[in-house]
Structure 1
Amino acid sequence: MQRPVVSLPTQPPTVAPDAPRRIVRLNDNRAVYSVREVARLLSLSLGSTYALVREGEIPARKLGGRWVIPKKRFHDWLNEATEQDNRASEGWA
């Protein structure tokens, strides 16, 4: 009995090492992020992100049993936090 022949690629697909990793699809029209998506965006652990959400540091809402982060409020919060950090660091120069 002969086995079927399966062709395997000889080399892995080439991806530029500095290519951005997409977290959210470009045409994503959802109004909210999941906690997991925000954790990836902020390069934080999932546990740390949940703690920040529960403490109210990251703007979020609990819908049913699930936390969601409104995209606009999240980006406004992040921009404001970044601006505050920039103003605070100006005094250290």
Structure 2
Amino acid sequence: MTARPHRPGQRPAPTPRPAERVVLLDVEIARQLSLSLADTRALLRVGSIPARRVGGVWTTTQARLSAWVDALPSADPADPAGLDDADDGGQDA
């Protein structure tokens, strides 16, 4: 089977782009979140990071991980430690 030549008035078929990784493994999740693998797996186990276990390995999709990261609350620039007063149990130090 031979490819048909390009006909005038028709656009040529798009050149396929290299495949992007759609499914991420736990190691790739850790790398993207700049976390250790142990910390990432702990967050995966408690359900903090959206993922599933497939054959004993945690996996998620790039789209799902990106949506989760985008939905995280922004850090307060006035609180460089990333802590707010509500976490101290209502007690002043």
Aligned with 1:30 (options 5, 21, 27): 21
Candidates 36, 43, 50, aligned match of 1:45? 36
TM-score (norm 2): 0.58
2-structure distance, mates of 1:27, 1:76? 23
After TM superposition, the structure 1 = structure 2 runs for residues 64-75 of structure 1, keeping only pairs within 5 Å, are: 64-75=55-66
Give identity over the alignment, percent: 38
- Kindly report structure 1 stretches of 4+ aligned residues shifted beyond 3 Å: 26-30
Within 2, Cα distance between the matches of 1:27 and 1:50? Answer: 29
Q: Calculate the TM-score normalised by the size of structure 1.
A: 0.58
Q: How many residues align?
A: 63
Distance 1:54 1:71, change over 3 A: same
Q: Which residue of 2 aligns with 1:57?
A: 48
Q: Whole-Å Cα distance in 2 between the matches of residues 37 and 57 of structure 1? A: 16
Instruction: Point out the structure with max Rg over C-alpha.
Output: 2
Which structure has greater helix proportion? 1
Residues 16-66 of structure 1 show CA distances to partners (whole Å, capped at 9, x for unaligned) of xxxxxxxxxx93433211111111111111000000111111110111222
> Aligned partners of 2:42, 2:19: CA distance in 1, in Å?
26
- Give the distance between the partners of 1:51 and 1:41, measured in 2 at CA: 16
Q: Distance in 2 between matches of 1:67 and 1:28?
A: 21
User: Does the CA contact (< 8 Å) of 1:53 and 1:60 recur in 2?
Assistant: yes
